[in-house]
Structure formats: C-alpha cells, structure tokens
Structure 1
Amino acid sequence: MKIDATNIEPNSQSGDRNAAPLRWFLRAVGGITLLAFAAAVMPEKWMIEIGEALGVDPFPAAPLTFYLARHLSALYGFVGIGLLVLANDLVRYRPLVKPLALGTIGFGLIQFVIDAMSGLPAWWTFGESISTLLGGCMIAWLNRHGGGRGARDHAV
C-alpha cells in the first residue's frame, strides 16, 4: 500500500468555505473539552477541594467515585478529539453533524434529568444542561445556515 503524502491537507480548507463558523465552533468546543483529560489524572485531593469550593456536598472519597469521575473526564476528552477531527474535514464528515447536533441536544436533556435526580444545586443543573442544549442548537443552526456544499442536504 502506497501512501500519497502530497495530498494530506484536509478538504475543509478548500471545499466548504462557508462552513467556517461551524468549523471554528467545533474547534473551540473540542479544544476546551480536551481540558477534561487533565481532570482524568487530577489528584484526588484536588477533586475533593474543587467540590468543596463549588459548594456541593463533599466529594465521597471512595474508589468507585474517583473511578467514575476519571472515566467521565477521559470520555469528555475523547469527545473533544472527535470534534476536532470532524472540524478538520467538514467536507468528509458533514453527514455526521446533524446526528451530532441531535445527540448533543438529547444529552442536554438527559443531563438535566440526571443532575436534578442527583440533587445538584440549581445553578449547576441549569448551567450544565442549558449550555449543552444551546451547544447542540448552535451546531444545528450553524449546520443549517453555514452554506457550502451539503448544508441543505444535512441540515437539522
């Protein structure tokens, strides 16, 4: 198998120029989400202190709690990688944007239910779920109104 190293630039720079706002939004969210990798390896003491500083109930110092917190952080980090890959070649991955938007909106609704059931403060519940819902709506809006190739075919 021969690899053509002359054509390694992503298609997104040449094809779908009107999708730049969507591309930059996905890059921004993806880049910020990469920060979750730091929380995956954060010392337990810091997790406990951050929980106290946020005014939520004390962070339970139990192996399962740290396991879940670290795995969720790692998962968010990998979501960030996925967003960056998608944003880097929107021409190729444009059909995935609609399911991404719908999934993000659905995730925001699920976050609200989970946060409310967990007894988290209202500012946390509304802040997390509404920001996720708005993020999904923004992806859908930018996909629909971003113009370029495939925007009408793949719009939410």
Structure 2
Amino acid sequence: MQLWMLRLMIAILLTGLPGALLPEIAFQKFAWLMGYGKQPITPLIVYLSGNAGFAYVTIAVLIWAISRDVTRYQPLVRLCGWTMVLAGPAYLSIDLQCPLPLWWILMDSVGCFLIGITLLWACPRQTTA
C-alpha cells in the first residue's frame, strides 16, 4: 500500500513537468482548465510557474528514490505522510484565498490530506523496546 501511495504522489507531482519545461504555455493551459480564460503573462508569472513545476518534479524524483526501498526509508515514508497531512490544511488556506473552483479546492486539500492519512495508516506499527 505504501508503494502505491508513493507512486500516486509521484504521478501527481509529475504533472508539474510541463510547467518546468514550458511555463508560459503551461500557465495558460492551467488558467483555461480552471475556467479563467486567457490570462496576462508577466515575467513573474513565468518565473513562478517554472519554479513551481521544477520543484514538483524534483520532489517526485526524491519520492521515487524513497519508493524503491520503503523498508529502508521508512522514516522518510512517514515524513512524506505527515507532510501530506499538513499540506491538506495549507492548500485549503491557499486555495480559499485565490479563490479557486470548489472542485479544485477539494481535490487539492482533501486529496493531499487523504493521501497522507493513507500513507501513515499503511506504515508498520512501531514497537517500543
């Protein structure tokens, strides 16, 4: 179960690849998907889109390395789980400030939270010595 949750995280994070490679085009497609239509492009938008996409891809590579041996990297698997649990409320706060469509807010915040909870639930129970 841990492996599948980590691989799901990787798949989601790799959606940042277009933003890392073609930030201006990716931003326009994302704006269209969200229902905002054509948006003005500024250097800051291109910079932030490219950096966010690159950060997502970098995190995907790190999680891929962790997923190759979940037993060995169990503390990092737990850290990924807790990070996703905390990302849920963080994304909820960010998304509500935009404001983004409800479907995106739920997918973003609830999705992160549930992935984190599931990942932690799948972790082996620690026994005290």
- Point out 4+ residue stretches in structure 1 off by more than 4 angstroms: none
Deviates more, 1:128-137 or 1:46-55: 46-55
In structure 2, the partner of 1:152 is 125
Select which of 76, 80, 84 maps to 2:64.
84
Quote the Cα distance in structure 2 between the aligned partners of 1:60 and 1:108: 29
Quote the Cα distance in structure 1 between the aligned partners of 2:88 and 2:119: 13
Q: TM-score, normalised by structure 2?
A: 0.85
| 1:21-49 C-alpha deviation (Å, 9 max, x unpaired) | 21132123214422422221125245314
What fraction of aligned residue pairs are identical, expressed as a percent?
A: 26
Higher Cα radius of gyration: 1
The 8 Å contact of residues 23 and 50 in structure 2, kept in 1 or not, is answered as: no
Quote the Cα distance in structure 1 between the aligned partners of 2:92 and 2:23: 28
RMSD (CA atoms): 2.0
Q: TM-score, normalised by structure 1?
A: 0.72
Quote the Cα distance in structure 2 between the aligned partners of 1:47 and 1:141: 35
User: Superposition pairs for residues 1-156 of structure 1, below 5 Å?
Assistant: 21-42=1-22, 44-56=24-36, 58-143=38-123, 151-153=124-126
Amino acid aligned to 2:126: D
Tell me: CA distance 1:59–1:132, structure 2 relative to 1, closer, same or farther (3 Å): farther
Q: Which has the higher helix share?
A: 2
Unmatched 5+ residue regions in structure 1?
A: 1-20, 144-150
Quote the Cα distance in structure 1 between the aligned partners of 2:55 and 2:20: 9
